[in-house]
């Protein structure tokens, strides 16, 4: 592990010499991730993308991609585009990326079960804004808004997110 890694600890995520409080999945940590289990997958994951709402904030990094009104994420494990960004209209089960709330105003995408997804192994493991301190996610790692923005300005594609076995 290096200071350039995002490392989950019992007290938050350690990154670049700082410790950031965070929330994880309501299902806790797991080494057997399944779609809909609400758990955060244990392992070494990499940041592979960054999305942002251009109507709400400026791009935090040159490689950030704007989220448009029709941008979705497939969470249908039977879909050929499972765990991929897709566009509306889209019939299979999916999650809207352009949400009414601010949770996905800024999203760091991990390579969990990506790019070659395995059916039912879980989708959309992101780093995003939390609802409030201590409120669990559906499996993602979530941060206070200003902390997420600070992190986003300093990560790059390939930055490691380490979720250790506890």
Domain membership flag for residue 37: yes
CATH number of the domain that 105 lies in?
2.40.440.10
Residue 105's pLDDT is 98
Is there a cis peptide before residue 89, judged by omega within 30 degrees of 0? Answer: yes
Domain membership flag for residue 151: yes
Provide the residue range defining the domain that includes 54. Answer: 6-163
Question: Which helix (H) or strand (E) segment is 152 a member of?
Answer: helix 145-152
Is residue 18 left, alpha or beta, with left meaning phi > 0 and alpha meaning psi from -120 to 50?
A: beta
Q: Where do we find the tokens 């997420």?
A: 148
Please give the Cα distance from 4 to 121 (Å, whole number). Answer: 27
Residue 3's pLDDT is 87
Domain membership flag for residue 55: yes
Task: With a cut of 80, say whether residue 136 has pLDDT above it.
Answer: yes
- Tell me the average pLDDT of the chain: 97
**Quick one: 68 exposed, middle or buried, by C-beta within 10 A (0-12, 13-18, 19+)?**
middle
Domain count, the chain: 1
Task: With a cut of 80, say whether residue 46 has pLDDT above it.
Answer: yes
**What are 121's two structure tokens?**
């192994």
**Confidence band of 107 (pLDDT split at 50, 70, 90):** very high
pTM of structure: 0.96
Average pLDDT on 127-155 reads 97
pLDDT tens digits for range 68-104: 999 999 999 999 999 999 999 999 999 999 999 999 9
Task: With a cut of 80, say whether residue 119 has pLDDT above it.
Answer: yes
Please give the Cα distance from 124 to 140 (Å, whole number). Answer: 8
Residue 1's pLDDT is 82
Residue 8 φ then ψ, to 5°: -75, 130
Domain membership flag for residue 13: yes
% of the chain residues with pLDDT over 70: 100
Residue 86's pLDDT is 98
Cα distances (Å, whole numbers) of residue 12 to 19, 42, 58, 82, 102? 6, 15, 26, 30, 21
Residue 79's pLDDT is 95
């Amino acid at each position: 592990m290096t200071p350039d890694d995002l490392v989950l600890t019992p007290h938050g995520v350690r990154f670049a010499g700082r410790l950031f409080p965070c929330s994880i999945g309501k299902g806790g940590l797991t080494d057997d991730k399944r779609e809909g289990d609400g758990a955060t997958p244990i392992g070494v994951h990499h940041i592979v993308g960054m999305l942002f709402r251009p109507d709400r904030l400026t791009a935090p990094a040159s490689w950030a991609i704007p989220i448009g009104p029709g941008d979705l994420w497939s969470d249908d494990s039977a879909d050929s585009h499972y765990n991929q960004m897709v566009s509306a209209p889209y019939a299979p089960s999916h999650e809207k990326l352009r949400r009414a709330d601010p949770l996905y105003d800024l999203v760091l995408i991990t390579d969990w079960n990506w790019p070659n997804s395995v059916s039912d192994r879980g989708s959309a493991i992101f780093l995003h804004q939390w609802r409030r301190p201590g409120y669990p996610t559906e499996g993602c790692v979530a941060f206070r808004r200003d902390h997420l923005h600070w992190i986003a300005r300093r990560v790059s594609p390939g930055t490691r997110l380490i979720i250790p076995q506890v």
